[in-house]
A and B are shown apart, each in its own frame.
Chain A
Amino acid sequence: MEILNYAFMQRALLAAVLVGITAPAIGIYLVQRRQALMGDGIGHVAMTGVGLGFLLSWSPVWMATLVSVLGAVLMELIRWYGKTRGDIALAMLFYGGMAGGVMFINLAPGGSNANLTSYLFGSLSTVSESDVTAICLLAAFVVLVTVGLRRQLFAVSQDEEFARVTGLPVRALNLLTAVTAAVTVTVAMRVVGLLLVSALMVVPVAAAQQLTRSFAATFAIAVALGVGATTGGTVTSYYQDVPPGATIVLLTIGAFIALSVLAAPLARRRARALAAAQPAADPAECKIPATRGAADEVGV
């Protein structure tokens, strides 16, 4: 394993594993509440943070975290108070975030869109020592929330109205989900890039559901697929000289297709088992009487 002899590859692999865990871990709740594209929206907003980081010469990772957390909270508040149509307001936030990023980075001394590219599509090999520290801290927060509060987040994402009647702090949990998603976006930014972050949040979950019946199993398989794809993509990019972000995303989509194909016979077998368990409850086929009498005539 000569790949592990290089410090930059050690950092890259550590970052990849953490992203493989965190992105599907929060993504599953977004998919459950049918906000699969929220990660994409936050990714656009984070661009303004990266731009501001360059302009003010602060760490782009921490600046992106700050701005995307604010953006995610704003999205949640728009959803809550919903005066304007939700989707229009979100579109403004997405494109405003992207335009802001391009604007700020061009205003920054010596800045150009070239700086932005490493954040848009990821740049694993340039992950620095301080980036790794930031990624570790943020990933620990994401895991703590998504695993520690899994029952509460499940209940709120499954049925918000019911969750309120169990006395859960629904609004606080929604904000926490949004903030955690924003943190995950900035964790994944250096690995797969802002434009592909959402894929890693959604596709492993979609792939896992092809096989599963329970939320717990979906969570476990999605995280396993996420880690497999990020490490596999990182190693492949080292040997084959291909961009890691794109490789990782294509691997997850490959897993989705493979599992969909595998799942078809599995689903058929389950359906048969279910039918066998409930005999004669409802006949599988319609019965047509052999002879028709006058009573079957229908007036027109």
Chain B
Amino acid sequence: MSDESVISLRGVRAELGSRPVLRGIDLTVRRGQVVALLGANGSGKSTAVRTVIGQVPVTDGEIELFGTPRRRFRDWARVGYVPQRTTAAGGVPATVTEVVSSGRLSRARFGVLRKADHEAVRRALDLVGMADRAKDSVNALSGGQHQRVLIARALAAEPDLLIMDEPMAGVDLASQEVLAETLRGQVAAGTTVLLVLHELGPLEPLIDRAVVLRDGCVLHDGPPPEAVGQHALPGHDHVHPHAPAGAEPIRTGLLS
């Protein structure tokens, strides 16, 4: 692991509709690290990664990608991005291959895909175990399969840095395992990863560092917080504080 910083945020502030969401964030991700960005809903963790990719404008502070100020950064083929999965697919049918191919555009000149590019798309589909569904419409996939396609799309450019926004949200157990396995392979090959997560879950063993946000400020930056007691066991029950009084906790059925 070298000291070269891949992502660097210094004093980043951002607003969404004049409401401050980030209030001066410092965050550095070095080459080869796997960093999880944790926090409650509304803590600013998604906004933080969206400032990195330039989707949300910053009002103050500096962002660098691979040592280049984000404004002048052009080498997007080095970045693979997996957005938070939206239920809204495009209004026209598209096959798995067509969607994943658009991830290769950053490496293709003038949008022309050559043989090597088609092979890279195929490899990305193999990595997430979706090669047998290559010709199916993405609308026919389950939530977990759809997420695997979005990750294949990010991997198609063979990036050095993966940025993922809640990759495990709404994903079935089988797909979660495929995703964790895919990520393990990428990390072993030296890819740097920044993940937004709601909870560490099955990815926990991969994570070097956790950054916890609260109200747009960094609350914790260090080793991932140790889960204690029943929370340390995989498949523990989730008790939601906003659930009506007397409601049954959600049983994952793995502990009994």
Contacts and interface: CB of A to CB of B under 8 A. Distances in A.
Interface residues of B, number: 35
Nearest to A166: B106
Contact of A164 (B54, B90, B93, B95): B54
Interface residues of A, number: 32
Contacts of B74: 167
Most B CB within 10 A of own CB, among A31, A33, A149, A155:
A155
Interface in A14-62: 28, 31-34, 36
Contacts of B95: 213-215
Contacts of A168: 105
B113 interface: yes
Contact residues of A: prevailing secondary structure: helix
Contact of B83 (A28, A32, A161, A218): A161
Contacts of B135: 213-214
Most A CB within 10 A of own CB, among B80, B88, B90, B153:
B90
A157 B108 CA distance: 18
B66 interface: no
A114 interface: no
B81 A36 contact: no
Interface in B69-120: 74, 76-77, 79-81, 83, 88, 90-95, 98-99, 101-103, 105-106, 108, 111, 113
22 contacts: A28-B92, A32-B90, A33-B90, A151-B108, A152-B111, A155-B102, A158-B90, A158-B99, A161-B50, A161-B53, A163-B102, A165-B79, A165-B81, A165-B163, A166-B157, A209-B93, A212-B93, A214-B94, A214-B135, A215-B92, A218-B93, A274-B136
Given A161-B50, A166-B105, A214-B98, 14 more contacts: A33-B90, A34-B88, A151-B102, A162-B81, A163-B102, A165-B79, A166-B76, A166-B77, A166-B103, A167-B76, A167-B106, A209-B93, A213-B95, A274-B140
Q: Closest 5 interchain pairs by CB?
A: A167-B76, A155-B102, A165-B81, A213-B137, A166-B106
